[in-house]
Structure 1
Amino acid sequence: MPSILAVSGSPSPASRTVSAVDHALSWLADRGHRTAHLAVRDLPAAELLAGARDTVAVREAFDAVANADGVIVATPVYKAAYTGLLKAFLDLLPENALAGKVVLPLATGGTVGHLLAIDYALRPVLTALGADHVLPGRFLLDIDIARSEAEGVYLAPQTEKRLIETLERFDGALDLRGIGFSAARPQLDAEAGDLALANGSPAAVGR
């Protein structure tokens, strides 16, 4: 089964973004995928901000990205864009680090006014890193995500439904990856277009 890495860029230790990512990875793991979660906030800040690529922690993070078949890139939206913490990590990645991978952007925010941050802020960077197929992604409202020690992660029913629909598309794209993106492109484009419409996104298919 494909291996999936989630890269989350929230600076908060009590992050709704991380809660949503853990929920998504649990769903994918239940379907047999190998999953891992790289929280950028756990990398040494001095190394990250200094652009140090040759340290043990940063090299291990690069290896985790390189070895993944699918990558979930998750971030809260601050000031209409993804976090500076995530940007610092993406800036360090080698050229074409996402080539050959299926990439799913996932964002959380306090208002639907931040919805377009996926397409206008995050997607161009993922494309610049060589991603062959970037799904339209999913935006989740903070108010729809909760976490407790007793019950774990809770998503509002409609949010849960939309996230699972997105993960099913991600899962399907990972399966198509095995036959090659060129051969699978018509189906990938059709599915991405359907998801963009469902998500209320103006994303151009295949960007």
Structure 2
Amino acid sequence: MRLRAFYRKRSQPRVFLEDTTIMYDIVIISGSPSNASNSHGVLGYTRRILESHALSTHLISVRDLPLKDLLHAQAESTAVRGQTELLAHAGGIIVGSPTFRSSFSGVLKTYLDLLPDGIFAGKAVLPISSAATLSQIGDFEAAIKPVLTDLGAHKILPGLTLLDSQIEWSEDREIRLPDNIDHSLHAALQLLAQNIRK
């Protein structure tokens, strides 16, 4: 499926020379505690889809931020502030995490608590998660929506949860999805592309 609605002939971020601000079409927040997790892998796959359709992206892997900044709520640290500025200028946001105990990861909650009020205002936000069982479908979305709303998001798109059993890793650590799940992911990204702030 081609993301026709927001196709451009480039996938490089825009740079405003007067203040050196970089603007990505979409910033992806991975709240997985492990870069080898299914949810992180799906977000990486999602990023490749977007960039193959000329949408510039940036990935924030929360687990790679300095632990002391997260533990001590150092919102003004160089590492955290730099990512916050990219979020503030993004056209759209994807937030992802494994489903943990009917909610999302603690490291993602810790990071989101560092963000300033209203940072997601005017942006389309797409929640994506992985879950171990059918009974967990919808738990991530229900838990994350109030947090996103508190951060100013009013355009929260229908989320997508993938079961761990639907996510296959190839020998070279590439994600493979069943055709129907892949189609659902592309459809969700199509909707995000249509709704990102231009």
| TM-score tier after normalising by the smaller chain length | 0.7 to 0.9
- The TM-score normalised by the length of structure 2 is 0.84
Measure the CA separation in 2 of the matches of 1:121 and 1:102. Answer: 18
Q: Which structure 2 residues correspond to residues 8-47 of structure 1 after superposition, within 5 A? A: 8-47=30-69
The residue number in structure 2 matching 1:124 is 146
Following superposition of structure 1 onto structure 2, how do residues 152-167 of structure 1 map, counting pairs within 5 Å? 152-167=174-189
Amino acid of the residue matched to residue 144 of structure 1?
A: Q
Q: How far apart are 1:151 and its partner, in Å?
A: 6.4
Alignment-derived partner of residue 79 in structure 1: 101
* Partner of residue 169, structure 1: 191
Please, which runs of 5 or more residues in structure 1 have no aligned partner?
A: 179-207
Q: Could you tell me which residue of structure 2 aligns to residue 53 of structure 1? A: 75
Distance in 2 separating the partners of 1:115 and 1:152: 24
- Whether contact under 8 Å (2:127, 2:141) holds in the other structure is no
Structure 2 counterparts to residues 79-158 of structure 1, below 5 A: 79-150=101-172, 152-158=174-180
Contact in 1 for aligned 2:102/2:136 (Cα 8 Å) = yes
Q: TM-score of the superposition, structure 1-length normalised?
A: 0.80
Supply the RMSD in Å over aligned alpha carbons: 1.5
Q: C-alpha distance in 2, partners of 1:92/1:6?
A: 16
**1:164 is aligned with what amino acid?**
H
Q: Distance in 2 between matches of 1:173 and 1:162?
A: 17
Deviation of 1:149 after TM superposition, in Å, equals 4.7
Structure 1 position 118, deviation (Å): 3.2
**Equivalent of 1:62, from 80, 84, 88?**
84
Post-superposition shift, 1:143? 1.2
Percent identity, aligned pairs only, is 35
- Name the residue aligned to 2:18: none
